[in-house]
Amino acid sequence: MLRRRTLAGLLPAGIATAFARPALAQASDYPNRPVRIVVGFAAGGATDITTRTMVPRLQQALGGATLLVENRPGAGGNVATELVTRAPPDGHVLLMGTIGALAINPTLYRNLGFDPQADLTPIGMAGNILNVLVVPAERPWRNVAELVAAARARPGAVTYGSSGIGGAGHLGGALLDQMAGIQTVHVPYRGGGPMMNELIAGRVDYAFATAPTAVPHIESGRLRAIGVPTKARTRLLPDVPAVAETLPGYEVANWYALLGPRGLPRPIVDRLNAAVRETLQDAEVLHHLVRHGVEATPSTPEELGQFIRSETAKWAPIVRATGATPD
């Protein structure tokens, strides 16, 4: 069997160059047709809004390319993720991935049919959507310490709502239980809207709700914000303490990131990463993201890959401890 170097030497110069450097050949005219960015949730949700906010500026950064947002909801983002893992690695089908699909579902689902770390190529982080720890206005708790004290005094009596099993809102409560040494009861709903209605009505005691959903009710006085699950206070809600001020090390990042299929050539990865970074520096894009509670968090491909590995390792034991299933 001939080695690549030997075979290349037997071919005409132009053909040999293309054979020896396929990635560069594929990337030279990228993109040469519309690029689909697949979103694993319905139109109008936070992942969809973040993607569509970025797309116009991302198109400019890619030299006027056509970018299409394709919504493929189902199975907590698994439907969209699997679609991208099976796409050709040419950069024309990409994924706007989430913490659920990339870091939680590998433990939550027994038979995914794909491995997010092995079957996808990291391109770059997009952003974090801020979650807020909120309680109904009639509850007496003014801070995280008071909530924890109440739960500790009555194990199993305090309840928290979420938009579904395995999401950031669910696991944020599970992590709070673990780190504070308390026992609360998770009440999952079929989406953030129903959960918010029940929370406002006082039928659950607290929730980690997305900022766009929670802030109007905080401003109206129906909910009280007592914490944000970030390392430090955020500029989006600067007067709300970080949960980590009470429980050092507490953090739940509800994040989005751009990825492609396994084997995506490095020149295409680099071009897309540069386009994402350029987009996330645009003042108008940043303004619209902040309005929707999203903080831009650009990264290198390597930083994203390491982050997904660390998030998967962080959440796997917590998912197992909850006994949660996707049913």
What distance in Å separates the CA atoms of residue 171 and residue 153, rounded to the nearest whole number? 22
Q: Of 47-51, 53-57, 82-86, 196-200, give the lowest mean pLDDT range.
A: 47-51
Residue 6's pLDDT is what?
35
Q: Is a pLDDT exceeding 50 seen at residue 11? A: no
pTM above 0.85, yes or no: no
Using CA atoms of 187, 129, 265, 268 in order, give the dihedral in degrees to the nearest 10.
150
Residue 273's pLDDT is what?
98
Residue 12's pLDDT is what?
40
Q: Of 54-63, 141-150, 207-216, give the lowest mean pLDDT range.
A: 207-216
Which residue shows structure tokens 């909120």?
134
Residue 327's pLDDT is what?
63
What average pLDDT score do residues 205-223 get? 92
Q: What is the pLDDT of residues 149-196, one digit of tens each?
A: 999 999 999 999 988 888 888 989 999 999 999 999 999 887 778 889
Q: What is the pLDDT of residues 254-306, one digit of tens each?
A: 899 999 999 999 999 999 999 999 999 999 999 999 988 898 999 999 999 99
Using CA atoms of 61, 62, 66, 71 in order, give the dihedral in degrees to the nearest 10.
-80
What distance in Å separates the CA atoms of residue 104 and residue 120, rounded to the nearest whole number? 15
Q: What is the DSSP letter of 156?
A: T
DSSP letters spanning 196-210: HHHHHTTSSSEEEEE
Higher pLDDT, 93 or 44: 93
Residue 2's pLDDT is what?
36
* Centroid of chain to Cα 25: 32
Q: What is the pLDDT of residues 87-126, one digit of tens each?
A: 999 999 999 999 989 999 999 998 888 999 999 999 999 9
- Write down all domains in the chain, each with its CATH number in brackets: 34-128+253-322 (3.40.190.150), 131-227 (3.40.190.10)
Q: Is a pLDDT exceeding 60 seen at residue 14? A: no
Residue 26's pLDDT is what?
55
What do you get for the CA distance between the two ends of the chain, in Å?
Answer: 52
Beta carbons within 10 angstroms of residue 244's beta carbon? 19
CA distances from 288 to 42, 50, 70, 295 (A): 19, 9, 21, 10
Number of alpha carbons in the 13 Å side-chain half-sphere of residue 236:
28
What average pLDDT score do residues 296-317 get? 96
Q: Is a pLDDT exceeding 80 seen at residue 4? A: no
Opening angle at CA 104, ends 101 and 105, nearest 5: 55
What distance in Å separates the CA atoms of residue 67 and residue 197, rounded to the nearest whole number? 36
Q: What is the pLDDT of residues 230-239, one digit of tens each?
A: 989 988 889 9
Residues 212 and 292 sit within 8 Å (Cβ to Cβ): yes
Q: Of 43-52, 167-176, 203-212, 312-321, give the lowest mean pLDDT range.
A: 43-52
- For the beta sheet containing 120-129, the strands, ordered from the edge strand earlier in sequence to the opposite edge, are 67-71, 35-39, 93-98, 254-261, 120-129, 294-296
Q: What is the pLDDT of residues 18-34, one digit of tens each?
A: 333 444 445 678 999 99
Residue 146's pLDDT is what?
98
Residues 6+ apart with CB under 8 A from 9: 16
265-299 burial code (b ≥16 CB/10 A, e <16): bebbbebbbebbbbbbebeebbebbbebbbbbbbb
